[in-house]
Chain A
Amino acid sequence: MQFKTLLTSVALAGTLHYPVALIAAPTPAEIISTYADIAHATYEDSLKSAKELQLSTNNLLSNPNQSSLDKARSAWIAARVPYQQSEAYRFGNTIVDDWEGRVNSWPLDEGLIDYVDSSLYGSESDENTQYRANVIANATLRIGGAQVDASNITPELLSDTLHEIDGIEANVATGYHAIEFLLWGQDLNGTSPGAGNRPATDYNLENCTGGHCDRRRAYLQATTQLLITDLQEMVDNWKEGGEARRQLSEKSESHAIASILTGMGSLAYGELAGERTKLGLMLHDPEEEHDCFSDNTHWSHYYDAKGISNVYQGSYTRIDGSTVSGPSLSAYVAAQAAVANQNMLNKLQATENAAQVMVDHAAQGKTFDVLIGEGNTSGNQVVQDFVDALTEETRAIENIIALLQLDGIQLEGSDSLDNPAQVLE
């Protein structure tokens, strides 16, 4: 990921361009401070809602029935609300991008974790030897010629051994989507309505379905605990004096603002519009949706887009309804180029509207996997409209980068130019 081009005198010249003639235009330092405050609040909310999720999964394990399972699923969906809004911080902050794979890795070959339906999932993959390893059913795994002892399912086993095992990124053992699979199971409805339908008895020791309920329970506990540990780490990074703030402060002000805009553009275009939306539309494959087990993709996309808007407008509405806000990038751009700012605000609104249309369709049973179905012309168009809105939004971000003379800045993140070793996977 990078915004192409190299550091130049042009960029350096732009380092300290405070708009002198206008009142109340925020300084870069103020914008960066707001940016970090919103990050902290968003990750804090993510952590808080993950702890709620843990309470409900513990309750599921104590009383494995449909009601406790439904409550755990609702808690997972609620936990996605703040987390997805944090994704605008991923690109542009190395400390987030390097960590993100532990909590939101996608797509996954879920056969690594638990039982799957052969007719739908298939039995093997060119890419992944652990495609059907099923660690819940198997206390020993074979990787190449070696054996891996998986007899005790612990957070350490998942994070240190199983996650991305054999160097394959689809071997996702931890994070939101692993938990999602454990709560819903595979969505066997193809591009017809309906999500995964794992029975609560998959967690029942007396009346176990799916086999190995003891190990499935241990897996759910371990991966939920890991999510909390990982989120706590990111909350700490964004505290006053935290590592993420320190890294941000080490950048020049224009570099920091370029990082903010890169995070917005890379998420909007390559990741959200491309990888998570357009690809599914072109493949018409029900597994090519971000929350494929729960069919919650519409909300995940909605809040992803909202996170970009939060960062630009310097305002985040917390899960308790209160607001964290401060001097914004929007005001900074407005002071220098009012038209570009208004254009950006319009595009953000257009994206939100397009996401809302997907949410409305989902409320009528036409979830993302239904909309992308082969031959569903009107559904395909709804998804295409979201892609188009994000593409236009990206053009508006590019325009701002050009206007602020930030296009000469080489951005880190996962930039292959800075760190070739990072590109290997």
Chain B
Amino acid sequence: MNSATKPLWPILLGASLLLTAVSVVHAAPSEQQWQSLNQSLVEEHILPRYRALQHSSAELAASTTALCHQPESVQLENAQEDFQQTMDAWQEVQHIQFGPIETLMRNFSMQFWPDKKNLIGKQLNLLLQQQNPDTLNVEYLYRASIGVKGLPALERLLFTSSVHQLANNSYRCQLSQTIAAYIAINSQATLDEWNNGYSDSLSSAGSQNSYYDSHQEAAVDMMKSLIEPIEAIRDQKILRPLGGGQVRPKRSESWRSQRSLRNIQLNIASIRHLYSGTTNSVDSLLRKQGRGPQADNINALFNRIEQQLKTVQTPLVTSLYQPETVDQLRQISDALQQLDRGLSAEMLTLNIQLGFNSRDGD
């Protein structure tokens, strides 16, 4: 996608002149600047996060296997703890929706959510009823529904099963083990593909070997990862559970493992890191474009959202019933909306066209 917005049809002289005038004011970043930004984001933001996901999901696969060998409460607690670590790692990289995580629907396979029609429950229950041994291998999961092979399915199994149900190498325990193994394989493959090809494709944007025609085009994927999740967090993780007049706590993400608020905190911290936490960053680029006050405003909004999130009582699945929590979340939602607006406005300065996103039409 080439989204250059230089005057493209010379016959429109009047409009062209105006556009030229505007583009002098907001001189768009150079290819060199985009390249430096992309490189910092890959090395300092994206790769460390996929390494963390690979590491924690491998631990989770091991502890789930140990649980099935020795189904006792301490093993179940270990597996639950490793699930929490893996979900931490996933929440910190959930906003990256391009590259190897898109291959073979890996992103949806890691986490299908929100599940508005209870399909995870329906499909998982069917598997548990049928207990078909052919389903207990990762090859089966490759072709199975995204409802039964990701973190939400594993969360149900690990946080709503008794030790008794997991004993005697039960189907339920073996399915948990298989899903955990599948998640680890997915995480490993994502990291491997970043290391063996995709990073190079980004750094060599514009060359024949790259998926990208330019560094600016590659930066569009980065900027989508920065901005699109903010609206998704607001709509899906905050406003849906708030409901229209009546709260719906079970619409919260990861409510069974009681980490709904933590997910949001990790998302915001990670998105903030993507914005300003690397050697070359969007924040520094904006300042170079003469947009210091706007960058300050964006930082102030991040501060405000992080502070507000700290005051919310957990777990959300119960605290949502308190009017105070509802008020706090509404304020956070408003601040997220401002952050979304602020960042979106700066994309014009940077000459970035975000385009349609998968949530258009919701």
Contacts and interface: CB of A to CB of B under 8 A. Distances in A.
B11 interface: yes
B288 interface: no
Contacts of A19: 9, 11-12
B24 interface: no
Nearest to B3: A402
A5 B344 CA distance: 5
Given A20-B11, A109-B117, A167-B245, A375 B143 contact: yes
A402 B358 contact: no
A13 B235 contact: no
B291 to A, nearest CB: 14
Contacts of A176: none
Interface in A363-378: 374-375
Interface in A85-131: 91, 107, 109, 122, 125-128
Given A397-B356, A405-B15, A271 B337 contact: no
Contacts of A146: none
B250 A122 contact: no
B62 interface: no
Contact of A127 (B116, B235, B340): B116
Interface stretch (A177-185, A280-288, A293-301, A316-324): A280-288
A384 to B, nearest CB: 10
Nearest to A287: B117
Contacts of B208: none
B49 to A, nearest CB: 23
A205 interface: no
A402 B4 contact: yes
B189 to A, nearest CB: 17
B358 A269 contact: yes
Interface stretch (B144-152, B260-268, B299-307): B144-152
A166 to B, nearest CB: 8
Interface in B237-256: 239-240, 242-246, 248, 250-251
Nearest to B117: A107
Nearest to B7: A405
A52 interface: no
A14 interface: yes
A45 interface: no
A401 B250 CA distance: 39
Contacts of B245: 167
B74 interface: no
A270 B227 contact: no
A417 B108 CA distance: 27
Given A126-B250, A416-B235, A424 B242 contact: yes
B362 A336 contact: no
Contact of A269 (B227, B246, B348, B356): B356
A208 interface: no
Q: Interface centre among A22, A109, A424, by most B CB within 10 Å?
A: A424
Given A269-B358, A403-B9, A167 B243 contact: yes
Contact of A425 (B147, B244, B357): B244
B65 to A, nearest CB: 26
B157 to A, nearest CB: 16
Nearest to A22: B11
A416 B348 contact: no
A8 interface: yes
Contacts of A266: 356, 360-361
Interface in B118-141: 118-119, 121-123, 125
Interface in A1-31: 1-6, 8-10, 13-14, 17, 19-22
Interface string A65-94: 000000000000000000000000001000
Contact of B22 (A13, A122, A170, A265): A13
A399 interface: yes
A211 interface: no
A408 B5 CA distance: 11
A137 to B, nearest CB: 22
Interface of A: 1-6, 8-10, 13-14, 17, 19-22, 91, 107, 109, 122, 125-128, 166-167, 169-170, 265-272, 274-275, 282-285, 287-288, 336-337, 374-375, 394-395, 397-399, 401-403, 405, 407-408, 414, 416-417, 420, 423-425
23 contacts: A1-B359, A3-B356, A5-B353, A5-B354, A6-B345, A13-B19, A19-B12, A21-B11, A91-B360, A126-B121, A126-B250, A265-B356, A268-B356, A269-B357, A269-B358, A269-B360, A270-B359, A282-B145, A285-B145, A287-B117, A402-B3, A414-B362, A417-B341
Closest 8 CB pairs of A and B: A271-B361, A270-B361, A270-B360, A13-B18, A266-B360, A21-B11, A424-B244, A398-B355
Interface of B: 1-5, 8-9, 11-12, 14-15, 18-19, 22, 105, 108, 112, 116-119, 121-123, 125, 143-147, 227, 231, 234-235, 239-240, 242-246, 248, 250-251, 333-334, 337, 340-341, 344-345, 347-348, 353-362
Given A265-B360, A424-B244, 16 more contacts: A5-B348, A6-B345, A8-B22, A9-B18, A9-B22, A10-B5, A10-B348, A91-B361, A125-B117, A169-B116, A266-B356, A269-B358, A270-B359, A282-B105, A336-B11, A416-B235
